[in-house]
Amino acid sequence: MGHRRCALRRSNKTKRVSGWVIRLITLLVFGLIVGGFTSTTQAADNEWQAKYWNNKNLSGDPILVRQEANINHDWGSGAPTGVNVDNFSARWKRTINTQAGTYRFTATMDDGMRVWVDNALILDSWYDSQMHSLSATLFLSAGDHQIKVEYYDAGGGAVAKLTIEPLSIDIARWRGEYFNNTTLSGTPVLVRDDERIDFNWGGSSPAWNVVASDNFSVRWTRSINLEQGRYRFTTTTDDGVRLWVNGRLLIDKWSDQSATPYSAEIDLPGGITEIRMEYYEGVGGAVARLDRTKIASPGSGDSTWRGEYFNNKTLTGAPALVRDDAGIAFNWGNGSPNSAINTEKFSVRWTRSMYLTPGLYRFTANTDDGVRLWVNGQKIIDAWHDHSPQDFVGEIRLPGGVVEIKMEYYENVGGARASLTRTLVSVLPTPAPAPVPPVNTPTATVSSLRLNFREGPAPTYAVTKVLAKGDVVNLLARNQAATWVKVQIANGAQGWVYAPLLQTNHPIANLPLLSTEPVNNGPTATVSNAVYALNVRSGPGATYDPIAAILRGQRVNLIGRNAAGTWIKIQIADGRQGWSSAAYLVNTAGFSGLPVTN
């Protein structure tokens, strides 16, 4: 039960032997409502109100009252200053503000502890015991919630810890994942629903006592339905930023800098648009902002080419002439484009935006001498060398919308010509209709405000879409524990959702079983004693970083063990390998026969 200070202080209480010691760091997630240029908390308390008594039953006047940032105590054989080293008790109270979602409360104690949420007792281990952990999972609505924790120590080791972590957060706007490093690595310390990316934190933290005020990073993601057209995205950050739109990297300024705006433009075909912005803060001021403006609609575009003419072959320096050209169809022979331009050793850059329907296009440039051509940022012709008049051809598939075209040309000596034509080779095929499920496929209705639609049956899989309350889905299959269901949504896409957040008359257990377990002819084990999920770590110990989580009831392949046999190297469904505690794995043959491995 922990180290005793002396024989006179030994307690008669009976200790239950725990299989292993879980070391947890309290992560308390605050819901932040974003408004204006900064995020502001609701009525949530910044710290825990803590009271300590020199008895085990929290009676009489407390001997110590103070504020505490976390419930994360391992006093060993000691106690808080001014409190008895044995037979003391404590009570912590706090109001937290959460977003709607499912949360896991985990208490680690030696000896007794109990936890209430909104006056409902969710964890109760009020007896003398060796250090152990208990967890409870429940759904919290958006808003304030009252948390109360009570604890007592009966002698010997004294431990009191509480973690509150989101298993799924209903994200209706920007999904913000906050990391306490500048590389977006590991598990985010905070996931929240940000109304907009419009923050000026100055020297403060995005979430007090959760996210650091320096050396942190954020990843925002969102799916937005945008009309067809050309859009300008502008980021303003201090420090680094990267921005993707529909998988295309538009802005890449991943370096320390003062608050600096960067803009990029893109033509979008219309419909659901995927946007991802990554940001990091080094030290000093912290600013992160994203703006979007529609600058052109279908049918818009430039009526002429912008021609920039240079008196050199390298398009360097300021152009000697800028003019609007109706088309690129020139044969200057041995002459010059203009009296301001040389007859030899000159160059031109033409740019234009034009609206094109979807299809496969062929562009043909005929020049003497060099030519390069970009369409929507993609170089499709590159003949940057001296040559006699000849055609150069490039093809590209375009989704439809406003297209950016840039042609660069240089003339060395002799004859000079430059022309560009385009041809629609073929239209894009009509998309295949969404698959139709069988007539008798059972359905369900989303009962929560928001429901994450994931790539696999666990909270560790990526979210590809967020379903709304009232959405109807087709039920296709289930996992082994019937806690996750594979569904098909209206557009035909298939994915996994958390079964308790669906309302259906069809028993989930009656759905076909779809195994997501790895295929292996070797030994296997099943996750058993974990309350909800078991961490898979990068090494054989609780101090190693988690790389994944596996659900209770899930089967894993066994690869090896450490010398003590307390940690097992496993392979999970996606092929990744890592380490989990043997205390939470069940195997009828035991683990002693596994090879000792690194």
Write out pLDDT tens, residues 440-450: 689 999 988 88
At residue 536's C-alpha, the angle toward residues 511 and 538, to 5°, is 150
Does the pLDDT of residue 538 top 60, yes or no?
Answer: yes
What is the rounded distance in angstroms from the CA atom of residue 466 to the CA atom of residue 497? 10
Q: Are 403 and 267 in contact (CB under 8 A)?
A: yes
Does the pLDDT of residue 287 top 70, yes or no?
Answer: yes
What is the rounded distance in angstroms from the CA atom of residue 165 to the CA atom of residue 96? 12
Q: What is the mean pLDDT of residues 368-379?
A: 94
CA-based R_g, the chain, Å: 32
Top pLDDT among 545 and 562 is at 562
State the CATH number of the domain containing residue 473: 2.30.30.40
Domain boundary among 169, 196, 217: 169
What pLDDT is stored for residue 137 in this prediction?
77
Is 28 inside any structural domain? yes
Both 108 and 245 in a single domain? no
Q: What is the mean pLDDT of residues 375-385?
A: 93
Is 57 inside any structural domain? yes
What is the rounded distance in angstroms from the CA atom of residue 577 to the CA atom of residue 556? 10
The residue among 72, 42, 34 whose CA lies nearest residue 145 is: 42
What pLDDT is stored for residue 173 in this prediction?
84
Spacing of C-alpha 199 from chain mean position: 19
The CA distances from residue 342 to 309, 408, 413, in Å, are 10, 17, 11
Is 592 inside any structural domain? no
What pLDDT is stored for residue 520 in this prediction?
54
What pLDDT is stored for residue 229 in this prediction?
77
Q: Which amino acid is at 395?
A: E
- 419-440: pLDDT as tens digits: 999 888 775 544 444 444 555 6
Does the pLDDT of residue 42 top 50, yes or no?
Answer: no
Is the C-alpha dihedral spanning 333, 336, 337, 341 positive or negative?
positive
What is the rounded distance in angstroms from the CA atom of residue 209 to the CA atom of residue 189? 11
Both 342 and 469 in a single domain? no
> 99, exposed or middle or buried, with CB in 10 Å at 0-12, 13-18, 19+?
buried
The CA distances from residue 61 to 51, 52, 89, 116, in Å, are 9, 9, 12, 22
- 339-354: pLDDT as tens digits: 999 999 999 999 998 8
Does the pLDDT of residue 84 top 60, yes or no?
Answer: yes
Confidence of residue 534 (pLDDT cuts 50, 70, 90): confident
Neighbouring CB atoms inside 10 A of 595's CB total: 9
What is the rounded distance in angstroms from the CA atom of residue 461 to the CA atom of residue 457? 7
State the CATH number of the domain containing residue 397: 2.60.120.260
State the CATH number of the domain containing residue 141: 2.60.120.380
Both 321 and 291 in a single domain? no
Confidence of residue 513 (pLDDT cuts 50, 70, 90): confident
Confidence of residue 165 (pLDDT cuts 50, 70, 90): confident
Please state, rounded to an integer, the average pLDDT across all residues of the chain: 82
What pLDDT is stored for residue 172 in this prediction?
67
Site of tokens 């594979």: 486
Site of tokens 């491995």: 597
What pLDDT is stored for residue 261 in this prediction?
93
Both 85 and 218 in a single domain? no
Length of the chain: 598
DSSP code per residue over 342-367: -SSSEEEEEEEEEEE-SEEEEEEEEE
Domain boundary among 296, 321, 350: 296
- 232-282: pLDDT as tens digits: 899 999 999 999 998 889 999 999 999 999 998 887 878 889 999 999 999
What is the rounded distance in angstroms from the CA atom of residue 135 to the CA atom of residue 123? 7
What is the rounded distance in angstroms from the CA atom of residue 385 to the CA atom of residue 411? 10
Q: What is the mean pLDDT of residues 204-224?
A: 88
Domain residues for 220?
A: 174-296
Both 116 and 157 in a single domain? yes
Does the pLDDT of residue 11 top 70, yes or no?
Answer: no
Both 93 and 144 in a single domain? yes
The residue among 155, 190, 153 whose CA lies nearest residue 171 is: 190
Full strand arrangement of the beta sheet holding 271-281: 190-194, 174-179, 216-226, 271-281, 241-245, 248-253
Q: Which two tokens stand for residue 328?
A: 């690129």
Top pLDDT among 533 and 579 is at 579
What is the rounded distance in angstroms from the CA atom of residue 306 to the CA atom of residue 105? 63
What pLDDT is stored for residue 298 in this prediction?
60
What is the rounded distance in angstroms from the CA atom of residue 129 to the CA atom of residue 2? 10
Is 82 inside any structural domain? yes
Is 180 inside any structural domain? yes
Does the pLDDT of residue 537 top 70, yes or no?
Answer: yes
Q: Which two tokens stand for residue 65?
A: 């009252």
Is 594 inside any structural domain? no
Q: Are 27 and 72 in contact (CB under 8 A)?
A: no
Q: Are 158 and 67 in contact (CB under 8 A)?
A: no
Does the pLDDT of residue 184 top 50, yes or no?
Answer: yes
Q: What is the mean pLDDT of residues 377-383?
A: 93
Is 597 inside any structural domain? no
Q: How many domains does the chain have?
A: 5
Is 413 inside any structural domain? yes
Does the pLDDT of residue 27 top 80, yes or no?
Answer: no
Does the pLDDT of residue 34 top 80, yes or no?
Answer: no
Domain boundary among 169, 199, 223: 169
Both 155 and 136 in a single domain? yes
Both 333 and 393 in a single domain? yes
Q: Are 168 and 549 in contact (CB under 8 A)?
A: no
Cβ-based neighbours of 187, under 8 Å, separated by 6 or more: 545, 546
